Homo-oligomer: A and B are copies of this chain.
Amino acid sequence: MTTQQLTHQIKTKKSFLCIGLDVDLNKIPNYLLNEEDPIFAFNKAIIDATHHLAVAYKPNTAFYEAYGLKGWKSLEKTIHYLNENYPEIYTIADAKRGDIGNTSKMYAKAFLEDLGFDSVTVAPYMGKDSVEPFLSFQDKHTILLALTSNQGAFDFQTLSVNNQELYKQVLETSKTWDNSENLMYVVGATKAEYLQEIRHIIPENFLLVPGVGAQGGSLKEVCKYGMTKNIGLLINSSRGIIYASKERDFAQAAVIKAKELQQQMEAILIHAG
């Protein structure tokens, strides 16, 4: 999917909501455990109920790998279901990969080509040749970790290098890589005030923003500092939506939570004109 198509979807749906599909068998309704593939059954119900309110879905691969072969199968079924039934939806493999060049090429092929995701999250620590193999895929995005939403972000990401924080150096350096127009960045909502300076470095690229909701970030603040004329934001919510209820009404409960966020987004989009 191109950036333009994503922006078009956002403007049509009046939403820049991304729903994180981080499925933990201990947290889904018990009755689903009788299904042949409980994870896929859960995802399918969430997707069918919320697809008109969200523009993107983001399975975190850890939750699938944790269930071994079965989990990997659930991930395959989920991405295929999305691509077949809701081709307008933007899909993100939240994999946080990154390895030496020939290995990153294998990961890129696995997620962007074979599984057919629109994008994959990648860690920057190993530098240019660990990220460029992902960037070479046409109409796909590579979402680079910049400033994450966890406490550990302050261990290294905000240390000063070349008179600026490391995550800003990551932003600057990544702009020089081949096909850098295919980059998006992870920037946690828990540090919304950082977004102003981030936008000085990368005025156009989309940001994937976790940490609204469960982790305490403010949607309004994020939009105030991070929104561009092409919107440029995907706000992720996982637990706050998909685990809104552990009963048979879980999908309807997810709709209510997703709708709350979508309506806040719609108000912001109208206000932004």
CB within 8 Å of B: which residues of A? 22, 24, 60, 62-63, 65-66, 68-69, 72-73, 76, 96-101, 103-104, 106-107, 109-110, 114-115, 123-131, 145, 148-157, 159-162, 166, 169-170, 173
Contacts and interface: CB of A to CB of B under 8 A. Distances in A.
Contacts of A129: 150-152
Nearest to A150: B100
A96 B124 CA distance: 12
Contact of A66 (B72, B106, B149, B156): B106
Contact of A124 (B22, B109, B156): B156
Contacts of A126: 96, 123, 145, 148, 150, 152-153, 157
A117 to B, nearest CB: 12
A131 B155 CA distance: 11
Contacts of A156: 124-125, 127, 161, 166, 169-170, 173
B152 A130 contact: yes
A149 B100 contact: yes
Given A62-B97, A125-B156, 20 more contacts: A22-B103, A62-B106, A65-B106, A69-B72, A72-B72, A96-B98, A96-B123, A124-B125, A124-B155, A125-B125, A126-B148, A126-B152, A126-B157, A127-B154, A129-B151, A130-B150, A156-B173, A159-B166, A161-B166, A166-B166
A124 B157 CA distance: 10
A68 B148 CA distance: 28
15 contacts: A65-B107, A68-B114, A72-B72, A96-B97, A96-B99, A96-B123, A100-B149, A125-B145, A125-B157, A127-B154, A156-B161, A156-B166, A156-B170, A156-B173, A159-B166
